[in-house]
Structure 1
Amino acid sequence: MVLVEIKGGGKTGIGYTYGHEATGIIIEKTLKKLVLKKNAMNIESITSALIRAIRNNGNTGIAMMAVSAVDNALWDLKAKIFDVPLCSLLGQAKDEMLIYGSGGFTSYNDKQLENQLGGWASEGIRYVKMKIGTHPADDVSRVKKAREAIGKNTGLFVDANGAYTVKQALGKARSFAEYDVSWYEEPVTSDNLQGLCFIREHAPYKMNIAAGEYGYNLPYFDKMIHQGAVDILQADATRCGGISYYIKAGNLAEAYEIPFSSHCAPALHLHASVTLKNFYIGEYFYDHVRIEKMLFDGVMPSKNGCLVPDLQRAGVGLEFKHSDAEKYKI
């Protein structure tokens, strides 16, 4: 986690991303000077200047994650200056963010897999996702075990992280359909838009193809949509230019009537997500849920399979626990 704090108007805004420590160096040496002394109300202007500043380093990867962390902090600061929740500042479209429990790592044994996914289902989380693809020969049997653990009334998602070939992915899709898998994420690498499109067109009709978590800019999402590569577009505000461009990606998806979904960092995405009319579901990722609960006050617990923003707290509703985090600091 790379944390950004910006002070203004007697308030402190916080934002973060997840990435290499070099992300922090870019913020300190390249971006910070473009933020200091600027008007905190003018986020569009500031973030545009940050993106111009990283042009020669490429507006993707570590450089864009650095921009994202700063933009996230700017939005938290602006809402805190107005002393309102961020979702109120932006305008709510939904009361809550539907979530899916995400984990089921391929390093888990069968018992660990069943306990984690089944535990989420018993807590009232209505959708769960598991990883596949590391050991393809085992994937169908693992999906079967997952279905048995969660019962027939919980939605089952799978994520291959681009591990399969196109034909292999399509064959697996037909096998997974027997266990009512309704979400098939990155069956092939998201760089292969033609392959994603082929799988989407030939997969069982109840199975949605999802991708987009590696998107760093709007042209990426635009190409993914125009190629017909996805049924559900994903984006990550810790990568794609912060809350500013996360919202723009969501609006782009809405223009094409495609459901929108957040990738990881559920506490950060909550307020922005409930302002999007076409928002479908957010990833309640095991590792990030654990980290956010450790390092922040104000993290909302899941309730009936959803997260609900705390409208009594300004900004994104989080306060960083400096004393608790100090021992982890790099």
Structure 2
Amino acid sequence: MNLAIKSVKAIPAYIPVNLAVGPVDVETALSCVVIEITTEDGVVGHGFTAITDEEVIAGIISELVEPNIVSLNSLNREHIAERLYWLLSPRGQTGYASHVVSAVDLALWDILGKVVDQPCWRLLGGARNEVPLYVTFGFGSFDRDQLSDAAKHLKNDGVERFKMVVGHHALKKRNDGASVRAIIDEDIQRVRIVREAIGDCDLFIDANCSLDASSARYLADRLRDYNVTFFEEPLRDNDVKRMRDLREQTGMRTAAGQNEGQLFRFRDLLEAGAVDVIQPNVAICGGLTAGAKVAALAQAHNVTMANGGAFPFHNMHLHAGMANGGLVEWHLISVEMCRALYGNLPDRVGSTITLPEKPGLGFVADADALRDFASRPTSHGVGKG
């Protein structure tokens, strides 16, 4: 069988999403890139990345990656990952390169699974065929009433773990004259409303790296009575030292890692004691190959691992495959986006999802949908969520 790479195609997409959660209905959009790698014998693997600028990623793949990996054996994932490191980030840079590598690596794992007729989660180790979920629902576009209504609807649907956004790009808005304190004071009321709606269920909050250390501590101190399970990405830049300080000063558990793209960044977070939960995202950190290495680091440091940054249908394979796999994020907007791109996606049942037995990633890219989205305008920087 000739498994040499014949072609690499990148499809940028900016996807409108209608999010309906019980009585709550909002319109939004997210961007992504789907990559299609075809071998000489016609085996096709699909990869994916997001929370980035789709125009840039597609250009890098077309102009740099394809000429440098065509003819290589698609099963030689470590060799290809190392080649892409020296091509795209030879001095340890983070950024767009890790998104590109993630998309390529996921496509290569998809090919491997199809060649050996096994799902990726089993090839990674097959620790379990079902993973627990938490549901990200509390978006900044929801007002207080919508937050409460959506939370109650999801709880009635069997959801046990809830995540909501705080911070709301506070430091970015401060640059345009907004008051960070006013944003945080509103967050306190929003968290109170969600806690009242979900009762004793787990509640996670996520600032998306949008606060400084003082503001994050102010918020954490005032949320003590609401029993927050963890505070995700509380600080700008995932500041390792200040995040450790925040843990020690407030006693609130911290989580980070979903937007990291180099292995040394995960090492630094773990060695510094900056996080209680490390969150590699295989659509960003370097794919399943890098995700498995982060899982090993987490196990060696005795730190819990969970999926952050959405895209459960790719990340579920890591957490089902590895013995120390943990929670997978059922991010409602990203789920709807993926449903627009793929067929045969599994669905959640309450707060769990069962992994597919189909080979590779276990779902099929919709060729007609990809052509449609590729023909539409791109996001021009506003599709990262």
The letter of the residue matching 2:186 is D
Aligned partners of 2:318 and 2:325 also within 8 Å? no
Indicate the residue corresponding to 1:283 in structure 2.
329
Residue of structure 2 aligned with 1:30, choices 64, 71, 74: 64
Find the residue that maps to 1:262 and give its secondary structure: coil
Indicate the residue corresponding to 2:319 in structure 1.
273
Aligned partners of 1:51 and 1:59 also within 8 Å? no
Aligned partners of 2:282 and 2:290 also within 8 Å? yes
Measured in 2, the distance between the counterparts of 1:15 and 1:168 equals 38
Indicate the residue corresponding to 2:279 in structure 1.
234
Measured in 1, the distance between the counterparts of 2:323 and 2:214 equals 35
> Is 1:298 matched with 2:344?
yes
Indicate the residue corresponding to 2:187 in structure 1.
139
Residue of structure 2 aligned with 1:5, choices 15, 18, 36: 36
Structure 1's unaligned 5+ residue stretches are: none
Measured in 2, the distance between the counterparts of 1:217 and 1:116 equals 36
Indicate the residue corresponding to 1:243 in structure 2.
288
The alpha-carbon distance between structure 1 residues 60 and 165, as it changes in their structure 2 partners (threshold 3 A), is: closer
Residue of structure 2 aligned with 1:193, choices 240, 256, 260: 240
Measured in 2, the distance between the counterparts of 1:57 and 1:286 equals 36
Number of residue pairs aligned between Structure 1 and Structure 2: 326
1:291-330 equivalences in 2 (<5 Å): 291-311=337-357, 313-330=358-375
Q: How far off its partner does 1:139 sit? A: 1.2
Moved more, 250-259 or 103-112: 103-112
Measured in 2, the distance between the counterparts of 1:58 and 1:259 equals 26
The letter of the residue matching 1:307 is I
Aligned partners of 2:33 and 2:58 also within 8 Å? yes
Measured in 2, the distance between the counterparts of 1:164 and 1:45 equals 39
Q: How far off its partner does 1:58 sit? A: 5.8
Q: How far off its partner does 1:56 sit? A: 5.2
Find the residue that maps to 1:53 and give its secondary structure: helix
The letter of the residue matching 1:111 is D
Aligned partners of 2:92 and 2:262 also within 8 Å? no
> Is 1:68 matched with 2:102?
yes
Instruction: Report the TM-score when normalising by structure 2.
Output: 0.81
Aligned partners of 1:61 and 1:239 also within 8 Å? no
Structure 2's unaligned 5+ residue stretches are: 1-31, 169-182, 376-385
Aligned partners of 2:123 and 2:321 also within 8 Å? no
Indicate the residue corresponding to 1:149 in structure 2.
197
> Is 1:130 matched with 2:164?
yes
Indicate the residue corresponding to 2:254 in structure 1.
209
> Is 1:164 matched with 2:211?
yes
Root mean square deviation of aligned Cα: 1.6
Instruction: Report the TM-score when normalising by structure 1.
Output: 0.94
User: Percent same amino acid at aligned positions?
Assistant: 29
Cα-to-partner distance string for 1:89-139 (whole Å, 9 max, x where unaligned): 222112322111113122211122123222222221211100111311111
